[in-house]
Copies of this chain bind each other. A is one copy, B any other.
Amino acid sequence: MSAGLERTLARLGPADPDARAGAARALDAKTKPRGSLGRLEEIAQRVAGIRHDPAPGRLRAAVVVAAADHGVAREGVSAYPQEVTRQMLANFEGGGAAVCVLARVAGASLRVIDAGVGTPTGNIAEGPAMSDADALRWIEEGVAVADELATDGVGVVAIGEMGIGNTTAAAALCAALLDVNPAATCGMGTGVDDAGLAHKVEVVSRALGANELSGDPVAALAALGGFELAFLCGLVLGAAANHQVVLLDGFIATVAALVAARLAPDAADSMIAAHLSPEPGHRLALDALGLDPLLDLGLRLGEGSGAALALPLLEAALALLEEMATFEAAGVTDAGR
């Protein structure tokens, strides 16, 4: 572990139960039966805990998409050629990708991180993706971006990724972290067929055999991950240290967050799961983080698209907490339940 990462971990603590309870009391005084806004009430309370503020108000949101290339792509694990990563980077910059549209609709800023696109990691089927030093460098880059966003007044960090081959890396990393079979973490990605899925399981099995895996999260990330996964791990840690809400996208983003939670269990307090991906490993990773996703709409694009789509739900929850009238102010009879 680097001195920089140690400093970040030292800044990190749990959510504030008093702020959470304060938000819960405020919601109970609003003109609605207790708890009748369901998970919106849960979200508002959770954000209050994360922000250490019973009245967090409305929050500025940023979507951060990290892109990288993967040596394992040469195993033919994706329906798309590796060049698509760079092409999509240009599409993000041009505003034409799904996440660009969804971030605009949600009123969020979008930041795209080029985590070494065109310079793939090592092929995890043959050995480590990167050195521990490289993993730590990208983690620290992620922390630095979280800090910049905090300085800019951003309270919600929605995380996404792009990288041909990265569901395979995430499946390998997830299998290693949760000690489950590759078949339990591999899925169709953005579009392989049944034969492609069987091949992916075989590639992940080889990756788990080709790499020395201790229990160290950074070592596992370096062996099986990718530059964008390391960056997002750092982004999550930095955001948690800054009391920013971390809104997770799909399987790959969630696996990066799982590495962060292995380094600092309190980081999970800062997370909200935007949606459930059809990738089978996603539910496993969410369960390990104790998270229940808000949306289940069959999204399997990545890019942070699901996280951006869930931003209006967060905004709604916080607006209800801030703006709804109380029984007393509105002169409405409270049945007390």
- A interface list, Cβ under 8 A from B: 30-34, 36-40, 79-81, 83-84, 87-88, 90-91, 94-98, 101-102, 104-106, 190-191, 294-301, 305, 309, 312-313, 315-316, 319-320, 323-325, 329-333, 335, 337
Contact indicator B320/A98 (Cβ below 8 Å): yes
Bound Cα distance A328, B38 (Å) = 43
Contact indicator B37/A96 (Cβ below 8 Å): no
Bound Cα distance A304, B282 (Å) = 32
Known: A36-B191, A38-B297. A88 touches B31 (CB 8 A): yes
- Copies of this chain present in the complex amount to 2
Report the minimum CB–CB distance from A303 to chain B (whole Å).
8
Contact indicator B36/A97 (Cβ below 8 Å): no
Q: Given B38, B331, B337, which contacts A191 in the complex, CB threshold below 8 Å?
A: B337
Contact indicator A105/B312 (Cβ below 8 Å): yes
Q: Given B37, B309, B323, B332, which contacts A87 in the complex, CB threshold below 8 Å?
A: B332
Bound Cα distance A97, B329 (Å) = 11
Q: Given B31, B40, B295, B331, which contacts A299 in the complex, CB threshold below 8 Å?
A: B40
Report the minimum CB–CB distance from A131 to chain B (whole Å).
31
Contact indicator A88/B299 (Cβ below 8 Å): no
Q: Given B91, B105, B298, B333, which contacts A83 in the complex, CB threshold below 8 Å?
A: B333
Contact indicator B31/A105 (Cβ below 8 Å): no
Bound Cα distance A313, B39 (Å) = 17
Q: A31-B96, A33-B190 are in contact. List 10 more A-B contacts (CB 8 A).
A: A33-B79, A33-B80, A33-B300, A37-B98, A79-B337, A81-B333, A87-B331, A88-B332, A106-B312, A309-B316
Bound Cα distance A255, B5 (Å) = 56
Bound Cα distance A333, B298 (Å) = 23
Contact indicator A102/B301 (Cβ below 8 Å): no
Bound Cα distance A309, B315 (Å) = 10
A337 (CB) vs chain B CBs: closest residue: B191
Contact indicator A325/B37 (Cβ below 8 Å): no
A313 (CB) vs chain B CBs: closest residue: B309
Q: Given B79, B299, B332, which contacts A335 in the complex, CB threshold below 8 Å?
A: B79
Residues of B within 8 A of A332 (CB): 84, 87-88, 91
Bound Cα distance A251, B270 (Å) = 34
Q: Given B91, B298, B312, B329, which contacts A31 in the complex, CB threshold below 8 Å?
A: B91
A88 (CB) vs chain B CBs: closest residue: B332
